[in-house]
A and B are shown apart, each in its own frame.
Chain A
Amino acid sequence: MSKLEITTPTDTTIVVTRSLNAPRQLVFDCLAKPELVQRWLLGPPGWTMPVCEIDFRVGGAFRYVWRSAEGADMGVGGQYLEIDAPERLVHEELFDQDWTGGRTKVTTVLTETDGKTLLTMTILYATQAARDGAKASGMTEGMEYGYGNLDVLLAELA
């Protein structure tokens, strides 16, 4: 299994990189098609994704909502700013609960070598405090991302 790397190269960015064992056209499809996004863009363990709407064009909007068994909703909405299939996608997004102190701008770049794809996702926050999760304690409580839950999720995925 490839290792996820997270770095914080500037005060207001987080960069996530991950190698994927597939050509980048397939990876790009997973970012663009709602029926595929729904299969991997998981919410917290045990949550479903009742809403996954995508209008995939520059200026088009997307909306995702994850829902817990108890009926709590976590929603995010955003807009596509740049689309260069299959190598680059730029969008901005805002969670309903605004854990990020305003919109974040997400740039996803796919580079392919020998049939494998390196995905590099740069998330730009409005402020350093936002990047450092100043409001995130509410989100992590809501998401219940404890080690125990992750073990359950991984067992379900295996």
Chain B
Amino acid sequence: MSPASLDATFAALADPTRRAILARLVTGEASVMELAQPFAMSQPAISKHLKVLEKAGLVSRGRDAQRRPVRVESKPLAEATAWLEAYRKSWEARFDAMDALLEELKT
């Protein structure tokens, strides 16, 4: 994944509304109207967020001319979070080991 596309992905994820949209789409595709419903936000405002997500390759729009359902694209999301997840896991393992060492040192 290129640095530029990772930047786009992280910028897309940096907004709580966009993260909530992705969380909804993980459960299944939805129309723009369905996505706008939970937020006190107009459809054009939601569409702006969708454009950012689409540009980052995180969602795609279906071809059905009537509905154009929005779908999540999981591969870019998985790639963007894999690094931070690996980083988190490595530090969790290290601090778990430090917990055990500190118990020894306290006695």
On A, residues with C-beta under 8 Å from B are 1-2, 4, 6, 14, 16, 18, 20-22, 26-27, 29-30, 36, 39-42, 44-45, 127-129, 132-134, 136-137, 139-140, 143, 145, 150, 153-154, 157
Contact = CB atoms under 8 A, between A and B. Distances in A.
Contact of A4 (B1, B7, B91, B101): B91
Interface residues of B, number: 32
A137 B94 CA distance: 21
5 contacts: A21-B99, A36-B105, A132-B3, A132-B83, A140-B86
Given A30-B101, A40-B95, 5 more contacts: A21-B99, A22-B106, A129-B4, A145-B89, A154-B93
A150 B102 contact: no
Contact of A42 (B83, B87, B97): B97
Contact of B87 (A128, A133, A134, A157): A133
User: Which 5 A-B pairs give the minimum distances between C-beta atoms?
Assistant: A133-B83, A129-B3, A134-B3, A22-B102, A40-B97
